[in-house]
Structure 1
Amino acid sequence: MLHSVEILKLKLSERSGNPFSGILNDRVIEDALHRAKVTYRKRLFTPIVTLWAFLYQVLDADKSLSNAVKQIQC
């Protein structure tokens, strides 16, 4: 039986583009940031993009930061 993390890894490997948008959409993350009173500038690597890159890095077989950045730029 597959654990939920293994299932998520399998789903991510089968998807192209940004696989996290269906799991953690921008609105959910923005609402959490607002509730936590987090402020940030609108830059290339917003908290949302940073979270997606972190998830790529943690879940991918290649744990390098450069690979995570490459994945979010696609």
Structure 2
Amino acid sequence: MIKTDRIEIQCPQCGHNEFEHPEKLKDNDFIKCNNCHFEIMLADLKEVGMEQAKDVIIPEAKAEAEKIFKNLFKGFK
């Protein structure tokens, strides 16, 4: 079973995960990292977040699949 159920988007510059943003957020709004003050458009940060999530989830899913297949074929040796 994949253990990660939540991934926080991290600033692409410093890795911090808290951002300053407008109350009614739209994809073309800029948000600012609370730590390093790096500004990025929300749409771009979403893409960064998807890549960060893939970096975590894909290895977990691969390890889980390998475990399942290993157990599945255990009796065929």
TM-score by length of 1: 0.34
TM-score by length of 2: 0.33
Which structure's CA Rg is the greater one?
Answer: 2
